Structure 1
């Protein structure tokens, strides 16, 4: 086998190699240009109204609660009222004198009768409100034992969609500041809410229709922030709804629903 003699790399040959590599690199970059996408950064607020009352207990929870109450009753000391009943029973067989007569005037049975009469006059509020009966979905006084999410009607292209309040970030704003401003711009300044953090909890990206892309942006990147409703109202003139998890499933666009349900805690139904 013949071997070629080794050749030394001279400075002139090294320069030639470098020129060749630069030409190859420029050709590879010019032949396959990479499109630079331009995105609108959008902050959205998932505003939740937490349950106002507890859910009805299941049969298992009811029986467990009754067992706990029985254990607590058996291990508890006698109350002042029970001691009063025992004292009244002892006085029943004793001769009546001036001191005893004063004591018997207010017996434990009298207290029980008064409490019973007061209890019978008390009416518990219904768990079903007028908003539930009339299916008024823009009222906060509905589904009191469920978590509700605020949606507003917004136009996207030629469609009207139900979405959380949102807005495009302005120059110089943080995403959290943009979320707070977007909520005020959408729902007014009467709402008092509590944000759970400075970082978004979810993310969704979509492309604009071709006609809108000519305006400068190719699509939007939506960053969702989670917040808790504390007080205030949304203007009635704004088309909005407070919906539970089941209702969200029926009204949200499937892609947005899939995104939101990755971080919204599901409601347990009895």
Structure 2
């Protein structure tokens, strides 16, 4: 019934338009007659302008907060052998440093003192008779300082839960996971929040990170464009006529500073550890934009 009614309305508008043209006395003027199909399209477009339709998907903004490596990673055996080779090549091709030249000069002075024709007056004239600290004395002092030097530990999470510390695995890139209630269970996810009218998806992700309890994370977001999206449908008993599922848009961010309470369900996981916490379908989407640097 919609199509015939639309044609009737369009023909009525066309007749009114032609009647108006005849009454204005422009019958013999150079007026171009309009096509009926053009008038029909214009009238249909003006009368049947669609309104805004609510989306059947709930929108969420999530943040992939990464803590970049703090120290270099441990070398494997091949890298150790290569480093030794490069050090040996550099040692063989390099020139003597000032300290090494000084060691040779002092060794030559000791050799002259032990000779039979040693002239102490000539030696004092060259060096002014001043008592100086030898290069060997400096090396002994450096060795003593090295013995008292204690290098920092590669892992600083001594005495605290391993996965809950931001200072674990300092040589690897870590991703923040939180335990949130979804449907009727608690699952591990990237921090997220539901979109609210009037805000951008990035603002939604920022709000999701800021709303974490007992956490004070300062993050630098890398742009306004999502780096990934995860879409899923709700169970049949949860779906409604206006909502069938959810879409989660991910934004990447780097940790600048901050910490979290150890009592809260937070953990910092490496990319290789995510499979033990995230659902397979969720993990498949997340692995696409997480770089294991």
Q: Does 1:123 align with 2:147?
A: no
Residue matched to 2:88? 70
The structural deviation recorded for 1:207 is 1.7
The structural deviation recorded for 1:217 is 2.7
Of the structure 1 ranges 57-66 and 183-192, higher mean CA displacement relative to structure 2 is found in 183-192
Gaps of 5+ in 1: 1-14, 16-35
Residue matched to 1:106? 133
Of the structure 1 ranges 235-244 and 56-65, higher mean CA displacement relative to structure 2 is found in 235-244
Gaps of 5+ in 2: 1-10, 12-53, 114-118
Correspondent of 1:53 among 40, 59, 71: 71
The structural deviation recorded for 1:62 is 1.3
The structural deviation recorded for 1:234 is 2.2
Residue aligned with 1:42, SS: strand
CA 1:211/1:103 → structure 2, altered by over 3 Å: closer, same or farther? farther
Runs of 4+ in 1 over 6 A off after TM superposition: none
CA 1:188/1:218 → structure 2, altered by over 3 Å: closer, same or farther? farther
Deviations 1:2-44 (A, max 9, x none): xxxxxxxxxxxxx9xxxxxxxxxxxxxxxxxxxx861111110
Deviations 1:227-256 (A, max 9, x none): 111111124443111111222111111111
Q: How many aligned positions are there?
A: 234
In 1, Cα distance between equivalents of 2:241 and 2:187: 22
Correspondent of 1:178 among 196, 204, 209: 204
Deviations 1:140-188 (A, max 9, x none): 1211111111011101111100101001122121111211122111256
The alignment's TM-score, normalised by the length of structure 2, stands at: 0.72
CA 1:102/1:189 → structure 2, altered by over 3 Å: closer, same or farther? farther
Correspondent of 2:286 among 249, 260, 266: 260
In 1, Cα distance between equivalents of 2:130 and 2:72: 43
Residue aligned with 2:175, SS: strand
The alignment's TM-score, normalised by the length of structure 1, stands at: 0.77
